[in-house]
Homo-oligomer: A and B are copies of this chain.
């Protein structure tokens, strides 16, 4: 017939827009800026996403998948038991040290849109729940109590929260050291 549809357009748009949403916040990035960055017309954008909400949800899903993969990679390279718990926190700490790290995209979104029960919010909350469940499972396998999982989770939350501050890199090391101490009490 005619010109065939470019494959992977949707993924390309999402990966182009993800750093914008992440670095500036979802509300601060307008659709005009998005199409300019993606180098496409609004037509194409709205043919792949019904609206901004769905694009944001796709962005959060992409980040969620990347983070899951990164965590699983770190866990595969680490040992079993308590070492796995430390490895998970260390992997987060590594990302906190990277320049441009600005905290967890899911938490940031929920801070921007606290009360909304919209599509991106559900993605974000689902990710947080599964992330928390992963910590629980790792600690349980390591022989730790649910209380220990609570403590580790608290450190992880703090680790994400200090992101972007001047002392984030230092706090990243502190978090890893603290978790090491916590799991050492097993």
Contacts and interface: CB of A to CB of B under 8 A. Distances in A.
Interface residues of A, number: 37
Contacts of A139: none
A111 B159 CA distance: 15
Interface string A7-37: 0000000000000000111011000000000
A27 B112 CA distance: 8
A170 B111 CA distance: 20
A108 to B, nearest CB: 5
Interface in A89-134: 102-103, 107-108, 110-115, 128
Interface in A123-174: 128, 147, 150-151, 153-162, 164-165, 170-171, 174
Q: How many copies does the complex hold?
A: 2
A157 B161 CA distance: 6
Nearest to A107: B161
Chain A contact residues: helix, strand, loop or mixed: helix
Nearest to A164: B114
B160 A161 contact: yes
Contacts of A103: 111
B154 A158 contact: yes
Interface of A: 23-25, 27-28, 102-103, 107-108, 110-115, 128, 147, 150-151, 153-162, 164-165, 170-171, 174-175, 177-178
10 contacts: A27-B27, A28-B113, A102-B114, A103-B111, A147-B177, A154-B162, A155-B158, A157-B157, A158-B158, A161-B161
